[in-house]
């Protein structure tokens, strides 16, 4: 049977079969080429995307909306869903899901609670895409991160990848580590002790025989890594502001630190950055984070077209 994502929800980075991953990546490559040529790679005229953002977002929301519009579809969105939607009246996400299937063909949700996208998907008969559920998962970010790695490095197999920063609360690294576990990468997991990768994720990686080194030393990791994936300390997940203040400057990547890096290192960051990458690093040719953000468009176009069966 041919691989298809038609009708599927995109909830977690570990949900994809290798064939599905291949299909998404190959579709994104094709769509990117079409975009460059000024063509519309699939026709989603008459289709509607609903965006439900209960948490702040710039890139994820804009790139999903851009993606849908570039496919000829239309977008309806609840801005500030947390305060202006019926969630403020106590409606469950399950009920919101039941309702939204009457309005749209596909929906993206970002929400502060773990499992929120799953709950919406249980109610909705249309494909639901998780645009970030609390400190849980961010699968579409992981897909664009993977796409970026392939473009920047030409391969993923055998790379040493350092994931650095807030590994406890950062959903991007939860999703990305699961996705890269399919490709024979080695990890450096770099964080302060209080923000280390959750034990369930570490044991899942260990079960999959992924080689990893947990360390607090960013300099050691950059000296040995082909890729450095920096993350922001996730201020909004801290219940104690003093603890955030203590940890917020744990790591700052600057030219001095980069001087000790493995030659040719690629630097990624899901953005937004706060202070963890000095602006002087932007001029370095391996600084790929703005290219990474742009890659969100073809990847999200591919996902929208695939789950709605337009591709
Ligand atoms: C990330 C997120 O929302 O998890 N942002 C994004 O989607 N690019 C990273 C972050 O907020 O630190």
Q: Are residues 122 and 159 in the same domain?
A: no
Does ligand 1 lie within 6 Å of residue 138's CB atom? yes
**Per-residue pLDDT for 214 more than 90?**
yes
Are 53 and 105 in a shared domain? yes
Confirm whether 147 is domain-assigned: yes
Q: Name the DSSP letter for residue 197.
A: P
Same domain, 45 and 173: no
> For residue 7, is it within any domain?
no
Distance from residue 259's CA to the centre of ligand 1 (Å): 27
Do 300 and 287 share a structural domain?
no
Domain count, the chain: 2
Output the residue whose Cα is nearest ligand 1's atom 11: 272
Q: Is 232 in the pocket of ligand 1 (CB under 6 A)?
A: yes
Quick check: is 5 in a domain?
A: no
Count Cα neighbours of 282 within 13 Å in the Cβ-side half-sphere: 8
Q: Which protein residue's CA is at the shortest distance from atom 7 of ligand 1? A: 60
pLDDT in tens, 194-211: 999 999 999 999 999 999
Q: Each residue of 97-123: pLDDT tens digit?
A: 999 999 999 999 999 999 999 999 999
141 within ligand 1 shell (Cβ under 6 A): yes
Clarify whether residues 147 and 75 are in a common domain.
no
Give catalytic residue positions.
59-60, 89, 110, 138
Is residue 49 located within the same domain as residue 60?
yes
Residue range of the domain that includes 18: 13-137+296-307
Question: pLDDT tens digit string along 17-51?
Answer: 999 999 999 999 999 999 999 999 999 999 999 99
pLDDT at 9 over 70: yes
Residues 123, 199 within the same domain:
no
What CATH number does residue 34 fall under? Answer: 3.40.50.1370
Q: Output the pLDDT for position 153.
A: 98
**207: preceding bond cis by omega (within 30 degrees):** no
Give distance in angstroms: CA of 64 to centre of ligand 1. Answer: 14
Which among 275, 244, 282, 301 is positioned nearest to 34, based on CA atoms?
301
| pLDDT-based confidence at residue 84 (cuts at 50, 70, 90) | low
- Mean per-residue pLDDT of the chain: 96
Q: Do 147 and 123 fall within a single domain?
A: no
Same domain, 287 and 301: no
Residue 1 lies in a domain: no
Domain annotation covers residue 3: no
Distance in angstroms (rounded) separating the CA atoms of residues 303 and 5: 8
pTM for the full predicted model: 0.96
Instruction: Give yes or no for residue 270 CB within 6 A of ligand 1.
Output: yes
Task: Looking at the structure, tell me whether residues 145 and 281 fall in a common domain.
Answer: yes
For the Cβ of 12 lying below 6 angstroms from any atom of ligand 1, the answer is no
- Report yes or no: 57 and 79 within 8 Å, Cβ to Cβ: no
Band (91; pLDDT cuts 50, 70, 90): confident
Whole-number pLDDT of residue 163: 98
Contacts of 131 (CB under 8 A, 6+ apart): 51, 53, 57, 60, 61, 64, 108, 109, 110, 117, 138, 140
Q: What pLDDT, on the 0 to 100 scale, is given for residue 89?
A: 73
Q: Is residue 8 part of a domain?
A: no
Tell me, using a 6 A CB cutoff, whether residue 8 lines ligand 1: no
274 lies in the same domain as 143: yes
Which pLDDT score is estimated for 311?
85
Which residue is closest in CA terms to ligand 1's atom 12? 232
Instruction: Give the least confident one: 67-81, 138-152, 285-299.
Output: 67-81
CA of 2 to the centre of ligand 1 (A): 33
Within this chain, do residues 229 and 253 fall inside the same structural domain, yes or no?
yes
Cβ of 271 closer than 6 Å to ligand 1, yes or no, is yes
Kindly tell me if the per-residue pLDDT of 13 is higher than 70: yes
Give the Å distance between the CA of 132 and the centre of ligand 1.
8
């Amino acid at each position: 049977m041919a691989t298809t994502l038609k009708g599927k929800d995109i909830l977690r980075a570990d949900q994809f079969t290798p064939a599905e991953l291949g299909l998404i990546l190959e579709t994104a490559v094709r769509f990117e080429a079409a975009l460059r040529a000024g063509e519309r790679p699939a026709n989603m005229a008459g289709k509607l995307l609903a965006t439900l953002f209960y948490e702040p977002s710039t890139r994820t929301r804009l790139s999903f909306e851009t993606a849908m519009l570039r496919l000829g579809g239309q977008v309806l969105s609840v801005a500030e869903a947390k305060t202006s939607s019926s969630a403020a009246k106590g409606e469950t996400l399950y009920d919101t899901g039941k309702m939204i299937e009457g309005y749209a063909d596909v929906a993206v949700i970002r929400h502060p609670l773990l499992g929120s996208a799953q709950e919406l998907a249980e109610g909705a008969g249309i494909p639901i895409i998780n645009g970030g559920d609390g400190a849980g998962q961010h699968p579409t970010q992981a897909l664009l991160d993977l796409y970026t790695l392939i473009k920047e490095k030409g391969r993923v197999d055998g790379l040493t990848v350092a994931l650095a920063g807030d590994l406890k609360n950062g959903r991007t690294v939860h999703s990305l580590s699961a996705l890269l576990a399919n490709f024979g990468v080695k990890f450096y997991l770099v964080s302060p002790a209080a923000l280390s990768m959750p034990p369930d994720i570490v044991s899942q990686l260990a079960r999959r025989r992924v080689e990893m080194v947990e360390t607090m030393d960013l300099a050691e990791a950059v000296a040995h890594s082909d890729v450095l994936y920096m993350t922001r300390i996730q201020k909004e997940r801290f219940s104690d502001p003093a603890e955030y203040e203590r940890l917020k400057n744990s790591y700052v990547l600057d030219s001095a630190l980069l001087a000790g890096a493995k030659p040719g290192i690629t630097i990624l960051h899901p953005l937004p950055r706060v202070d963890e990458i000095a602006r002087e690093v932007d001029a370095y040719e391996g600084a790929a984070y703005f290219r990474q953000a742009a890659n969100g468009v073809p990847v999200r176009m591919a996902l929208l077209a695939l789950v709605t069966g337009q591709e």
